[in-house]
Structure 1
Amino acid sequence: MRAIVYERTGDSEVLRLVERPRTDPGPGQVRVRVAVSGVNPTDWKARSGAHGPVPPGGLVPNQDGAGVVDAVGAGVDPARVGERVWIWEAAWRRPDGTAQEEIVLPARQAVPLPAGASFDLGASLGIPAMTAHRTLTVHPEGPAALGPSALAGRTVLVAGGAGAVGHAAIELARWSGANVVTTVSSPGKAALAAAAGAHHVVNYREPDAAEAIGKAAPDGVHIVVEVNPGANAELNQQVLTTNGVVVIYADGGGTHLPIPILPSMMSNTRLQFILVYTMPDTAKLQAVKDITAAAAVGALRVGTDAGLPLHRFRLEQTAAAHDAVEAGTVGKVLVDVTHAPEDPEQVHLPDEE
């Protein structure tokens, strides 16, 4: 089978296409024929060395994907063969990610994909949707699970609503009954955030951003889903309600977080840092359950009309796909592994790079 591997960390040039022998699943495992692999910032960062050195034998990149189960190991229901699935945390503390034609992994990390949900959607869940789920369920007075009415009466402010995590947070929050406000930096991104389902879209670069958010959330914001905590610290404190929480899932390129101590104390503001890999196992499994339920009813979507444009690459173009994510491409970057996309013109041909 074909696979992308890297045997040392570095820029995308370390990624190369190789032939590898297929592997049979062991006890408690399934083998998935990968249709589409999803690329996230964590994937290029790991390739660059953020997760440590490369073990002997090299690594296959990419955490997320979707495909079809084609074999199962001992202890796994044989009826799962032929099942369409979405994959999460494929490459976390494992040598095999989804940038290959077949992947063997624990059965629980290949989740049944609801009828009507595309492989593109399945490959776009994983890291973004699980991160978004966690941001919405760590409030000390909030729900541990999402679903209709779970966030009723609460206002969620999603910073960067045009990004993959922001997109998922908007959709999950709206599905759960929240009043959803998002901030963006341009009219184009505003259109994407609105398409995702945000009730109110605010350009954070405008001088009256706090006032605009206040009008959309007259009782204050309960949860801030934060991608750039340093730059947004002052704005968040202006719009948070008492006992509000700022949930931080990215650093926005900064290394320090300015905190207005006395105002934060007076309002009992909570700062919650999260990382999907190290969040509690119970939280991961709840996220998987809720994300699948949301996908089943169409609450999670992909594509330009849904506010998340897709950018497609072929397996041999995985390096270019990593470069696109690292460059901050707006939307979701996908690698077609064994899947032929409906619109071949979306695929980035080698001579276009």
Structure 2
Amino acid sequence: MKRVVYTETGDPGVLQLTEAESPEPGPGEVRVRLRRAGVNPTDWKSRTGSGPGQPVDPPQTPGQDGAGLIDAVGEGVDPALVGLPVWVWEAAFQRPWGTAAEQTLVPVHQAVSLPDPPDGSDPFDLGAALGIPFLTAHRCLTVAENGPQRLGPGTLAGRTVLVAGGAGAVGNAAIQLARWSDATVISTVSSPQKAQSAAAAGADHVINYRNQDVVAELRKIAPHGADLIIEVSPGPNAAIIAGGLAVGGTVAIYANNGGDEVTLSIRPLMTTNARLQFVLVYTAPHEAKLRAAEDVVAGVTAGAIRVGEPVGLPLLHFSLEETAQAHQAVEDGAVGKVIIDITD
């Protein structure tokens, strides 16, 4: 089978397309013959490591997310699963078999049944785009002290959710999930094009932070403030966090865009009894991820979760041979979801 690997950390040039024997699933594992793979920021960050030239042994195939068909199962796994269309999450976390390959191995619970989208779109494109972005967004939307652990119609009714950076993959997922759950969804963006993307995803209100006062506009829409802020840039957005959060509100921080340091005003956050929750899906509670996967499937089945231009997330396709270019596109901040086409 064809498999992209890197044996040392570095820029996209360290990625090599190789031939390898098909891996055999161990106990509790399934092997998935992939059709599509998704590329996430953690893929290139893991590839770079803490600097170039660090040895990687065994060779690592990048890619956490993908979609395809189960073609073999290990001991203890129901053989009836062979042939099942699935989407895969966290394939490469602490494992060498990522999704930039014709086949990958994952524990059976990380290969989730993939329903056909009601809109008739390609299920494998959708499946490859679900994993890390939607599990991250689900976790962000369910960490409030008095909030729901599950998402779906009515679960966020009466709540105002502010999604920072609504044109990104996680931002897009958060908007779709929050809208499906009946929240009032506000998103901040940096351009008219990204405003259109956030609105297409389902945001009720969009604020361009480059030419609008975010806190003032937010308070016009929701005088009490945002009950939940999904935050991608906590450093640059510290004043928005302090001025825009409702009493008892929660800030879910899932990235450090704009810098690794944040200075927060203590008194405003103290008086609102603010809750700050950092989110990294890879080390999030296992049960929370299983709940998220179930909710994502329910959202897909209901037609509430989609990908592509109609929902503000254009799909940018690369071949397996172009995995290095796919990584570079994500690293350069491409607007949309980067997909690697493994097979037709």
Give the TM-score taking structure 1 as reference length.
Answer: 0.94
With over 3 angstroms needed to count, the CA separation of the structure-2 counterparts of 1:192 and 1:234, relative to structure 1, is same
Deviation digits for residues 161-182 of structure 1, max 9, x if unmatched?
Answer: 0000000000000111100000
The match for 1:104 is 105
Residue type of the alignment partner of 2:102: E
Distance 1:54 1:40 in 2: 22
Equivalent residues of 2:232, 2:253 under 8 A apart: yes
Confirm or deny that 1:288 pairs with 2:293.
Answer: yes
Residue type of the alignment partner of 1:73: G
The match for 2:67 is 66
Aligned-pair CA distance for 1:62: 0.6
Aligned-pair CA distance for 1:218: 2.4
The match for 1:169 is 174
Distance 1:173 1:317 in 2: 34
Query: Which region of structure 1 is more displaced relative to structure 2, 210-219 or 256-265?
Result: 210-219
Residue type of the alignment partner of 1:160: G
The correspondence for 2:150, drawn from 138, 145, 151, is: 145
Aligned-pair CA distance for 1:255: 1.8
Map 1:35-46 onto structure 2 (within 5 A).
Answer: 35-46=35-46
With over 3 angstroms needed to count, the CA separation of the structure-2 counterparts of 1:275 and 1:50, relative to structure 1, is farther
The correspondence for 2:336, drawn from 312, 325, 331, is: 331
Distance 1:261 1:136 in 2: 24
SS across alignment from 2:58: coil
Residue type of the alignment partner of 1:161: G
Residue type of the alignment partner of 1:63: Q
Residue type of the alignment partner of 1:269: A
Confirm or deny that 1:232 pairs with 2:233.
Answer: no
The match for 1:344 is none
Aligned-pair CA distance for 1:209: 2.4
Equivalent residues of 2:243, 2:268 under 8 A apart: no
Map 1:152-231 onto structure 2 (within 5 A).
Answer: 152-231=157-236
SS across alignment from 1:224: strand
Query: Which region of structure 1 is more displaced relative to structure 2, 116-125 or 60-69?
Result: 116-125
With over 3 angstroms needed to count, the CA separation of the structure-2 counterparts of 1:279 and 1:13, relative to structure 1, is same
Distance 1:51 1:224 in 2: 33
Aligned-pair CA distance for 1:55: 3.9
Confirm or deny that 1:128 pairs with 2:133.
Answer: yes
Distance 2:110 2:146 in 1: 29
Query: Which region of structure 1 is more displaced relative to structure 2, 267-276 or 9-18?
Result: 267-276
Query: Which region of structure 1 is more displaced relative to structure 2, 310-319 or 101-110?
Result: 101-110
Aligned-pair CA distance for 1:207: 3.8
The match for 1:315 is 320
Residue type of the alignment partner of 1:157: L
Aligned-pair CA distance for 1:54: 4.8
The match for 2:8 is 8
The match for 1:21 is 21
Distance 1:51 1:331 in 2: 27
Give the TM-score taking structure 2 as reference length.
Answer: 0.96
The match for 1:346 is none
Distance 2:66 2:153 in 1: 27
The match for 1:253 is 258
Matched residue count = 339
What is the percentage of aligned positions where both structures have the same residue? 57
**Structure 1 runs not aligned, ≥5 long:** 340-353
Aligned-pair CA distance for 1:203: 0.5
Distance 2:198 2:67 in 1: 25
Aligned-pair CA distance for 1:317: 0.3
SS across alignment from 1:244: strand
Distance 2:312 2:180 in 1: 15
The match for 1:91 is 92
